[in-house]
């Protein structure tokens, strides 16, 4: 009877542990050949399929073109108010167009909207020539940004996404690029949610149909060629959580919307991103040995965010692990340990812990007496 009761107790405890864990379904099946879903703050991957597969990105390339242009404006090399003389080379560009005219001058701000909203190849070309004199020079510049971002499966040979065997990227790289664009240039990113743009008396709509279907979606970019299939990068915010979904190689315009929306709906339903601690938040008071002050406040060096199933946040545990006993002198902002976060006995993340203030050391005799007290304290702690 006793063994039966012990077995039932173990079973009930096992059930309790399991019931406290979050079980969520697998990501939905999509028609896209390659896809990835990430959180925009933490970069946490929530779903993926062949994310590093090298594929043709088509007009999604223009996200990088936009990033380079936005950065060149920030650095002061060009201005949104610049008037760009349109070359015959750009006027002749095929595919989607803004309908600029050779020999005319167009504002950089209008060209950006023509590239982002109307997906104009002519606008992308004109921006590239204005930034780097030629599209070839702009491609060299793009390569530097690709290297700086650590995009390992990306190589661009033009600013538009025009098909070329040596023009490629991957779902993961595109997600990283999109995350950087949203973080680094929020004002520029605002353009990606504009539904229409009129230029030269021609009104064109944004090709991202999700902007009409879901108010939480505010970007990013579509792409399509016969060889690339139908591609879409989208981003949106629900419950203070921003996600980025990249779907590449869908079979139709309708299917890419279905694929992308299913991915976003899955992420928003089962995951949240929350800040659990802010930079310079007070963590605890800790004793200082041999110092002019008996204790100092310990601070977190950085903000800490997690992307998790909602109910998991209540089970996160944290603890401060010191590098050793705090002995003066201590400088303000000095690293003194780490703050470790765990969930279900699994370490999630560690961040540095720093001192809140400077603490000078006592004189020779005070320091000596403090060392004796610390020695005794360490001995007693070891005995325990």
Catalytic positions, written as ranges: 59, 62, 119
- Tell me whether strands 295-300 and 282-289 are parallel, antiparallel or unpaired: antiparallel
Q: What beta strand segments (E) does 194-240 contain?
A: 196-199, 202-205, 217-225, 229-238
- CA 289 – CA 371 distance, rounded (Å): 8
DSSP state of 55: B
- Tell me whether strands 326-327 and 282-289 are parallel, antiparallel or unpaired: parallel
3-class secondary structure, 121: helix
Q: What does residue 284 show for φ and ψ, rounded to 5 degrees? A: -170, 165
- CA 105 – CA 294 distance, rounded (Å): 70
Q: Which residues contact 379 (CB under 8 A, 6 or more apart)?
A: none
Structure tokens, 232: 């879409």
Q: Is the dihedral of CA 217, 251, 266, 343 positive or negative?
A: negative
């Amino acid at each position: 009877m006793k063994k039966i009761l012990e077995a039932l107790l173990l079973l009930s405890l096992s059930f309790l542990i399991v019931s406290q864990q979050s079980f969520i379904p697998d990501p939905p099946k999509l028609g896209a050949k390659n896809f990835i879903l990430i959180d925009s703050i933490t970069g946490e991957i929530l779903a993926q399929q062949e994310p590093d597969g090298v594929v043709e990105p088509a007009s999604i390339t223009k996200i990088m073109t936009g990033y380079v242009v936005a950065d060149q404006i920030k650095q002061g090399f060009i201005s949104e108010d610049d008037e760009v003389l349109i070359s015959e080379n750009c006027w002749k560009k095929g595919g989607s167009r803004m309908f600029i005219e050779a020999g005319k001058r167009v504002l950089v701000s209008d060209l950006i909207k023509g590239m982002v909203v109307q997906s104009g190849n002519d606008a992308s070309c004109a921006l590239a020539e204005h930034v780097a004199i030629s599209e070839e020079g702009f491609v060299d510049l793009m390569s530097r940004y690709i290297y700086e971002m650590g995009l390992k499966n990306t190589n661009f040979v033009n600013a538009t996404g025009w098909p070329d065997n040596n023009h490629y990227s991957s779902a993961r790289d595109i997600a990283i690029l999109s995350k950087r664009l949203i973080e680094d240039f929020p004002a520029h990113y605002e353009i990606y949610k504009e539904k229409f743009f009129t230029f030269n008396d021609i009104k064109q709509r944004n090709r991202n149909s999700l902007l009409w279907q879901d108010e939480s979606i505010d970007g990013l970019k579509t792409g399509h060629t016969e060889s690339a299939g139908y591609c879409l990068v989208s981003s949106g915010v629900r419950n203070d959580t921003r996600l980025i979904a990249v779907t590449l190689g869908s079979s139709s315009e309708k299917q890419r919307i279905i694929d992308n929306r299913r991915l976003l709906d899955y992420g928003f339903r089962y995951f949240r991103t929350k800040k659990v601690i802010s930079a310079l938040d007070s963590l605890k008071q800790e004793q200082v040995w041999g110092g002019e002050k008996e204790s100092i406040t310990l601070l977190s060096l950085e903000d800490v965010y997690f992307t998790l199933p909602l109910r998991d946040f209540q089970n996160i545990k944290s603890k401060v692990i010191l590098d050793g006993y705090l002995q003066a002198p201590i400088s303000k902002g000095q690293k003194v340990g780490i703050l470790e976060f765990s969930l279900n006995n699994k370490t999630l993340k560690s961040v540095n812990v720093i001192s809140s203030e400077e603490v000078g050391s006592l004189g020779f005799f005070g320091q000596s007496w403090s060392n004796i007290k610390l020695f005794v304290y360490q001995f007693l702690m070891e005995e325990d």
